[in-house]
Structures are given as structure tokens and as C-alpha cells.
Amino acid sequence: MDRFTVKDYYDVDVVKNLFKEYSQIKGAESCFVSFDRELNDLAGYYSGGAVLIGYEEENPVACIAIRKVSDITCEGKRLFIKPDYRGKGYARIMLKAMTDKASEMGFKEVVFTTKPDVMSVGYGLYKRMGFEELSKESGIVSMRIDLSSPIKKYGFYGRGKRMKVFVVYCHPSSSSFTCSVKEEFIRGLKDAGHSYEISDLYGDGFNPVMSEEEYLREGFYRIDDPIAEDVRKEQQKINEADIIVFIYPDFWTAAPAMLEGWFQRVWTYGFAYGDNRGMKTLDKAIFLITMGGSLNEEIRRSQLEAMRTVMIGDRIRDRARQCEVYVFDEMTRGYGNTGNRENRIKVFLRKAYDLGKEVKTAEEGDDGDNYEESWN
């Protein structure tokens, strides 16, 4: 599980290497006027400001800087995520760290300049995070955020529009911890005013077994062959939703067979794949996975990576703008784990409730690319 932290810089070479890599982006040349002077005197250039570095584990992979303009105004600069580490929500985290730092330092506003034609993802992120556009000249856009305004902080913290959430729940027992996670998540949705629909695969008696007719339709791409009514209902639930949520336990490094069968039957040709697929691009896919083992163990982390490859890399892929993965681990019974399990249940159920209550679209504060966040 990747751990991402943001720190004030302490190694000048790390800053220089990140800034230099950023400067190589094609089309961004105009953002690096007097770049040599900046690199040669980082302490002086950012006097009264700050440079923040983002680390995945111990690897410096991101940066952002604050340059003092006046006692009340600072400029946000040099937001950069190394290419191999994009799509994990790090840009959003770096922006929030920068505005929090600027506010702590006494600044009342942050100004930013960007080139939408070159940095379209960043430009969209700034707008979603509450930056307002001030002017545009020669392809360069000036933006601003008021740090003292709670309305502007809405982009980071606020609850946005009401969502339609489709929950696919899969567990054979109503007395399970997984069932409690589902109940708390739904309670959070209700308290936030979101609407939801749930497919309880075991409770509803969903048939996970693909028929021969279904195989022939999929295997030979027979687009005109009929789709079973129970499958069509699931597809309709997907297309009526903004967000899809999967809640299930880890069974032998996989989802329960019922959920595996759900994907195999519902992800049909012409709906989930094909040249003209009918499935909408969902705003977000969220996975809440319960696990008996501990993610402190390397073998469990490896198993999680395998599950992420299947669920995120294959089944969701580009069918949602973003993905979030939350793992509630160390839930095994016995083995001397009773006390630990009970303590973690309290924390995890609160987390499940908060996730339901705070659910947001990709436009309400994330960086617009697929990313994953594991939590335990």
C-alpha cells in the first residue's frame, strides 16, 4: 500500500531535479522565465514562501511552491507530479497542502498562472478546487483563490451535489462485518441526502452462472442476441447512477464467486465493451473490501495488488473517471485477534459512514484521473 506524505523541502538537489523535469514539458517554456536564477538561489527566490515535496514512501515524486508577492498575496508555482505517479490523486493533495501552508503563513489569497492548452488536467483541477479565472492572454490564464472565504474552500471540503449511488453488495451472511460496513456506508449516504439503489447479490438471489446462450452471444459478438432481463436491470441501474460502489470480502485473493459471476454476465458486448458501448462513463467507482489478514504483511499487500489489477485495471479500466479502494483489514476471528478486531471494527465502521456521507464526484475536488487510495 503506497503512503504519500508532503513535507517542506530540505534537500536542494531534490527540488532542482523535480523542477528541471517539470521544465522539460513541451509547450511550458514560457513558465520558466529566469529559471536559472530561480534554481541557483532557491532560498532567496522563495524567501517568505515555501517549497513542498510530495513523497510516495521515501521517493520524492511531486512538488509545489509558494512565492511571496505581498503580505497578503502569494503565488502558487511549480505543481508537478512525476509521470509514473500520476493518476493517484497526488495533485489534489499537493494543492491542498499548498493552500493550507499559505494560510498558516498568513496569506489571504493565492494566485496562479497556467497554460490550459498544455496543462489541461491541472487547469481543470484548479477550477474544481475553487480557483477563479481572472484573465487570459496569449494562452496563459491567471487564477486566484480567496483563502479566507468558506465558499472558496468548498472545492476542498464542501459537500457538493446530491449523488445517485449504485451499491453492489456481495456477502452470504447478514451477521458479517462486511454487512455492517454496507449498512454504515448507506447510513452516511442517507444523512448526506444522496439517493442510492442496492443490488444485494445473495439476498436478491442473483444468478451468477453464465448460460450457453450468453456465452455464444459474448464469444461470437452477437450484438443482436437478447440480453437476459436480470442482466438488463443491473445495466439500467449502472446507467442511472453517478457512482458505483462494490462492497465485498476478500475470499482467497478474489471477490466472492457471486460477484465474479455478476461481472461476467453484466459486462456484456455492446454495453461494457465494443465499438459503440452503451455503458456510461461513471464518475467514480469505489471499492470497500474487508480482509481477514493484515496489510502489514507483504503477502497481503501483494494479494491486494493482484486484486487491484483485476478490478481496477481490467473491470473498471476507463469505465469510471476515478477509482478509490479502501481495505478494512485484520478482521480475522480467533488467532489472538479478538481485542484488536473489536477495536478496529469501531474505527472502520466510522470510516465507512464517513465515506458514504462525504462521497463526491470527480469534479468536486479530485484530479480527474483514475487513482486509488488504500486505507487501514
Range of the domain at 94: 4-156
Beta bridge partners of 338: none
d(CA 73, CA 69): 5
Phi, psi of 158 (to 5 degrees): -75, 160
> What confidence score (pLDDT) does residue 124 get?
75
Residue positions counted in the chain: 376
Whether 149 and 247 map to the same domain: the answer is: no
- Beta-carbon contacts of 260 under 8 Å, excluding residues fewer than 6 positions away, are 208, 254
What total of structural domains would you count in the chain?
2
Residue 50 C-beta-side C-alpha neighbours within 13 Å: 20
Whether 280 and 204 map to the same domain: the answer is: yes
C-alpha cell at 37: 536564477
Whether 145 and 168 map to the same domain: the answer is: no
Task: Return the SS3 of 259.
Answer: helix
Domain boundary among 100, 130, 156: 156
Report pLDDT digits (tens) over 110-142. 998 887 776 766 777 787 777 888 887 777 888
Asked if residue 178 is part of any domain, the answer here is: yes
Asked if residue 340 is part of any domain, the answer here is: yes
Most confident range, picked from 137-151, 173-187, 312-326: 173-187
Whether 253 and 341 map to the same domain: the answer is: yes
Asked if residue 343 is part of any domain, the answer here is: yes
Asked if residue 143 is part of any domain, the answer here is: yes
Report pLDDT digits (tens) over 64-84. 999 999 999 999 998 889 988
Whether 218 and 152 map to the same domain: the answer is: no
What's the CATH number where 133 sits? 3.40.630.30
Asked if residue 373 is part of any domain, the answer here is: no
Report pLDDT digits (tens) over 228-285. 999 999 999 999 999 999 999 999 988 999 999 999 999 999 999 998 889 998 989 9
Whether 95 and 170 map to the same domain: the answer is: no
> What confidence score (pLDDT) does residue 330 get?
84
Q: Is the pLDDT of residue 2 over 80?
A: no
Domain boundary among 126, 156, 186: 156
For 157, other C-beta atoms within 10 Å of its C-beta total 11
Lowest-confidence segment of 37-41, 50-54, 61-65 by average pLDDT? 37-41
Domain boundary among 156, 188, 214: 156
Grid cell 521517493 is found at 59
Q: Across residues 84-95, what is the average pLDDT? A: 84
Whether 150 and 229 map to the same domain: the answer is: no
Whether 202 and 328 map to the same domain: the answer is: yes
Report pLDDT digits (tens) over 141-171. 888 998 875 434 434 433 456 788 999 999 9
Closest CA to 303 of 277, 279, 272, 325: 325
Q: Output the pTM of the full model.
A: 0.58
Most confident range, picked from 75-79, 169-173, 193-197, 372-376: 169-173
> What confidence score (pLDDT) does residue 237 get?
94
Asked if 323 and 315 count as a contact pair (C-beta separation under 8 A), the reply is no
Residue 244 C-beta-side C-alpha neighbours within 13 Å: 24
Whether 45 and 176 map to the same domain: the answer is: no
Place 373 in a pLDDT band, splitting at 50, 70 and 90. Answer: very low
Whether 104 and 223 map to the same domain: the answer is: no
Whether 333 and 232 map to the same domain: the answer is: yes
Q: Is the pLDDT of residue 372 over 60?
A: no
Give the amino acid at 44.
G
